[in-house]
Amino acid sequence: MLDAKIPAGQLNSKWEDYKGHCKLVNPANKRSLEIIIVGTGLAGASAAASLGELGYKVKAFCFQDSARRAHSIAAQGGINAAKNYQNDGDSVFRLFYDTVKGGDYRAREANVHRLAEVSANIIDQCVAQGVPFAREYGGLLSNRSFGGTQVQRTFYAAGQTGQQLLLGAYSALERQVALGNVTLYTRHEMLDIVKIDGKARGIIARDLTTGKLERHFGHAVLLCSGGYGNVFYLSTNAMGSNVTAAWKATKKGAFFGNPCFTQIHPTCIPVSGDHQSKLTLMSESLRNDGRIWVPKKQNDTRKPSDIPEDERDYYLERRYPAFGNLVPRDVASRAAKERCDAGYGVGSSKQAVYLDFAANMERYGKIEAGKRGLHNPTPDQIRQLGKEVVVEKYGNLFDMYAKITGEDPYEVPMRIYPAVHYTMGGLWVDYELMTTVPGLYALGEANFSDHGANRLGASALMQGLADGYFVIPYTIGNYLADEIRTKAIPTDHPAFVEAEKQAQETIDRLMNIKGSKSVDHFHKKLGKIMWEKCGMARNEQGLKEAIEEIKALRAEFWKDVRIPGEANELNPELEKAGRVADFLELGELMCMDALNRRESCGGHFREESQTEEGEALRDDANFSYVAAWEYKGDSAYELHKEPLVFEECKPTQRSYK
């Protein structure tokens, strides 16, 4: 039976009670305890900085050449916090409720409430670090709206919030490196977990510049390695993002939670051809001021400027009047797909919809004209003044779109279409963020815990920093307090020797195949299977077909993949091969999980389970649980269920109308 270790008592007092009663490690003992952190994005960097500050001996690993290159840097639109700066009715409870509802009632209440509680502290922490959040004229921090909410609670730094937050966490991390509390290992990839007497006691890492395998001991191991969206090949993730750390943990006994819960982001630049290796996200914050529409006439080939207002279908505003363009991501994505599938798509591919700023540019222009005392401004003046406001709020996003598409989004509407973005699934963790392997923790996107079946926009940065700055410093002490008598285990221990041997054997096996097809060949084929049969819509037949196709593809991979170069050198193709091998196993489990979950919820849309209006139809009686899968061997998994109990947020059919 899975024990989530949720504290007793009232929901709004669980975290305070936990902090008041958890075990502590005194400062002298912290100096003799070693912690390994894998990944240095927002979750990893903040955890390493916090634990180093507390006095633990920390080793942090990243496969990039600098912790600043973690994929967290790509986040654009903002970070949520329940500070109610706008005085518009926000509160800790409302952020908690929006998150549970947005996740379609498939998240654990206690974890989500804790996240909402600590959210305000994150903003204060980051401001103190010098993060340049946008500010109002009077100096107060500025907020904007994101999908799934009716308040403005998203703090932002233009369209580069992730970058600024990561630089804040990175500076805190580098301070600890300089003080000697953190040792940073760049260009290192974790290849396996080392378990001794059932506990996580270290990792095997590969120095990516030399190919040398290394053994590293830790009293505890924290996986902060991000999500697995690249299983689809084309996604908004950085090309290096992968599931290897989490998957190796799964094969060592850590259960994998809700693997089928992947998020499709509605605001991405459409695919332009087979040459692409990744997709580009346009921040959800653009939905604040951009109106989404398609022509009312099917297969309309006119320029958007030639289509009059009464021949445009603002379909989100039509279908969801209460939330309009700010419905949650899963709802907006399915609505765009429905319009395109029905023949109303735009652009050469007809797989796109318009995101149009003209109306709000005019509105901003009139406001600015009023501020400046221009009583009879010309249309050109209004447009120019409005453009200046949009440049200030979203300028770098507009520049990025123009560079990629060659179109000026100030003059013509952007074209957008949904794409794979975030993964709500991940390693199953309890309230303390510990996996089913004692001493092994998962933070940020690497765990399953806070977003249910659909993450609300601007909540990824919130969760990563909450886990690293404000949760793990308390919860890890509850475990390490009992480990103060455990001396550092020498890395010539048989468990380290065996783990390194297995990692080397996998590398040797890959290098000895000497097949005829590239790693990307297999990755693209896997991605096509996943997108078509386990993507925006899934059905029983397609998922069963996908499982068999992935098995066949995996067998072909291990017979015919070609990896040039040598193992004992810088070899990016070998790195990719190991990651794709893990994706080929994870993809099968994702389809198995999607097949087992015979309901629609959030980003998991089973065609057999929908309302008359085409919305997701949950089955709370049979599927109100976390699916935690235990690895039992090739293509063999045992399902464990953690029942979800809702005391404050009673599940209802989601409505944004």
| 3-state SS, residue 281 | strand
Q: Which residue has the tokens 């994101």?
A: 146
**Whole-number Å distance between alpha carbons of 521 and 576:** 12
Q: What is the rounded radius of gyration, in angstroms, for the C-alpha atoms of the chain?
A: 24
Q: Is 606 a catalytic residue?
A: no
Pairing mode, if any, of strands 79-80 and 154-155? antiparallel
**Whole-number Å distance between alpha carbons of 46 and 468:** 5
Residue 40 burial by Cβ neighbours in a 10 Å radius (0-12, 13-18, 19+): buried
Cβ 568 vs Cβ 212: under 8 Å: yes
How far is residue 199 from each of residues 34, 249, 474, measured CA to CA in Å?
14, 12, 19
Residue 136 burial by Cβ neighbours in a 10 Å radius (0-12, 13-18, 19+): exposed
Residue 605 burial by Cβ neighbours in a 10 Å radius (0-12, 13-18, 19+): buried
Collect all residues with Cβ–Cβ distance below 8 Å to 379 and sequence separation of at least 6.
none
**Whole-number Å distance between alpha carbons of 47 and 64:** 18
* Annotated catalytic residue, options 153, 201, 291, 329: 329
Q: Which residue has the tokens 């996943």?
A: 530
Query: In 10 A of CB 2, how many CB atoms?
Result: 16
Q: How many residues does the chain have?
A: 657
DSSP string for 315-377: HHHHH-TTTGGGS-HHHHHHHHHHHIIIII--SSSS--EEEE-HHHHHHHHHHHHHHTT-SS-
Cβ 568 vs Cβ 271: under 8 Å: no
Cβ 116 vs Cβ 96: under 8 Å: yes
Helices (H) and strands (E) in the chain, counts: 18, 20
Pairing mode, if any, of strands 188-196 and 199-207? antiparallel
Query: In 10 A of CB 554, how many CB atoms?
Result: 21
Cβ 465 vs Cβ 170: under 8 Å: no
**Which residues form the catalytic set?**
329
